Structure 1
Amino acid sequence: MSSVETRQVDRDSLLLIAEVRIDGGEKCHRVKVRNLSSGGMMAEAELKVARGALVTVDLRNIGPVEGSIAWIEGNRFGIAFLEEIDPKLARAPVGTTANDLSSPRFTRPALDKTDPRKLRAI
């Protein structure tokens, strides 16, 4: 994002876990994502970061996003993304189809019982 004031940008408050890689290093660090917007995020972790450091954040349902450390306050820090994302994708359930049996049943959408073609014959 540019150096324009971005405090008025809509952001979603949430709690997700993400992986952060600092300055192209090999080690990934787990962080809590406290809020997320199209242009950046606030993360929380016991992690030493420097303002301006380049990072790559692996966000659920979005994938790797490049950015830089914009601010640091205690164990929380802001990351400004280089390119905008759709933050609503991170909120979407991981298993989004009823036929996807790789995720637990409680994470899959309910069956549509109004459509007889989707019901199983017993």
Structure 2
Amino acid sequence: MAEKTQYIARPPRWECHGDIVVVDESGRELMGRLGNISDGGFMAECEQKIPKGSIVETTLPDRGPVRAEVRWVLGWRFGAMILPDTQ
């Protein structure tokens, strides 16, 4: 008998293609391109590889400035979870 695969539902993603500037932990401004956005994060490609676990800042369309933690990296592409405002 085959094992059943369990899928975890994830929030909807909206495809989004636009140029962004990603500011890394060193304060470098890196050119990037969005791939998608969700309520809790985004996926983008960047001109330089960004290490998993890094905190980055960028400005997202219809959302404004955000801080995010890089959760996964695949080549030049990365996925980041938007961090709650600390203000």
What's the TM-score bracket when you normalise by the shorter of the two chains?
A: 0.7 to 0.9
Deviation at 1:61, TM superposition (A): 4.0
Q: CA RMSD of the aligned region, Å?
A: 2.0
Percent same amino acid among aligned pairs? 31
For residue 21 of structure 1, what is the aligned residue in structure 2? 23
Q: Which has the higher contact order (CA 8 A, sep 6+)?
A: 2
The 8 Å contact of residues 40 and 80 in structure 1, kept in 2 or not, is answered as: yes
CA deviation after TM superposition for structure 1 residue 47, in Å: 1.0
User: How far off is 1:62 after superposition?
Assistant: 2.8
Equivalenced residue count is: 78
Report the Cα distance in structure 2 between the residues aligned to 1:16 and 1:60, rounded to whole angstroms: 9
Instruction: Give distance in 1, aligned partners of 2:51 and 2:23.
Output: 13
Larger Rg: 1
Distance 1:7 1:75, change over 3 A: farther
Partner of 1:37: 38
Q: Which has the higher strand share?
A: 2
CA distance in 2, matches of 1:71, 1:7: 18
1:1-122 matched pairs, under 5 angstroms: 8-23=10-25, 25=27, 27-83=28-84
